[in-house]
Chains A and B, each alone.
Chain A
Amino acid sequence: DAGITQSPRHKVTETGTPVTLRCHQTENHRYMYWYRQDPGHGLRLIHYSYGVKDTDKGEVSDGYSVSRSKTEDFLLTLESATSSQTSVYFCAINQAGAEETQYFGPGTRLLVL
């Protein structure tokens, strides 16, 4: 799985609570991405990082924040979870950006009640 792990793999939380998802890589890749996948939609980019402390917004960034303090870790935080954020979240990595194949993690299934 290209040296990518996500934690937790499953989480159930309540509306209004903060949630942090972690993506960890052992490949020393420069780029890391967070996507969400929902029925009827393709994968949609939430945020991405192009280096330590370098992040940018994606298509569906509202309600999410990210941090990358080390090359190997990329954190996604839902400051106050809402039911619309129930989804499967995937982390992806690569070395050279969007024009290069991405390697995806196993996903985190989040249910917000």
Chain B
Amino acid sequence: KNQVEQSPQSLIILEGKNCTLQCNYTVSPFSNLRWYKQDTGRGPVSLTIMTFSENTKSNGRYTATLDADTKQSSLHITASQLSDSASYICVVSARGGADGLTFGKGTHLIIQP
């Protein structure tokens, strides 16, 4: 069964600090991996998408990495801001089929001033 596991479940850091969120997956055949940001009370918004051949992708202060051999990804947030407080969801797509997405449960990040 395809699975996506995220850690930690929740995280609290001080404003200005860096943090790294983890995503491990067992999805086959792999197509791509995405990170979404979900603010409280809103729908998820895409941050990055990486295919098998990409091992890093940045979007401003967000940098995602992918190790397709170990089936791990990380999302690094640099110089955190209060607006980074949100849930971050890792989503892995399997090749073929319109319904081939497996969602992680998310990491709830709180940035404290």
A-B interface, 8 closest residue pairs, ranked by CB to CB distance from nearest: A104-B43, A42-B103, A98-B100, A97-B98, A43-B103, A101-B46, A99-B31, A42-B105
- Which B residues contact A (CB, under 8 angstroms)? 4, 31-32, 34, 41-46, 49, 89, 93-95, 97-106
CB nearest neighbor in A for B32: A99
Contact: B98 with A44, CB < 8 Å? no
CB nearest neighbor in B for A4: B43
A90 at the interface (CB under 8 A from B): yes
Report the minimal beta-carbon distance from B3 to chain A, rounded to whole angstroms.
10
- Which A residues contact B (CB, under 8 angstroms)? 1, 4, 31, 40-45, 48, 50, 56, 58-59, 90, 92, 97-99, 101-107
Report if A48-B89 is in contact (Cβ < 8 Å); known contacts: A40-B105, A42-B106, A104-B43: no
Report the minimal beta-carbon distance from B30 to chain A, rounded to whole angstroms.
11
B45 surroundings in chain A (CB, below 8 A)? 104
Contact: A106 with B43, CB < 8 Å? yes
Would you list 19 pairs from A and B whose C-beta atoms are within 8 A, ordered by A residue? Answer: A1-B43, A40-B105, A42-B89, A43-B89, A43-B103, A45-B99, A48-B98, A48-B99, A56-B98, A56-B99, A92-B43, A98-B94, A98-B97, A98-B100, A99-B93, A106-B43, A107-B41, A107-B42, A107-B43
Contact: B42 with A58, CB < 8 Å? no
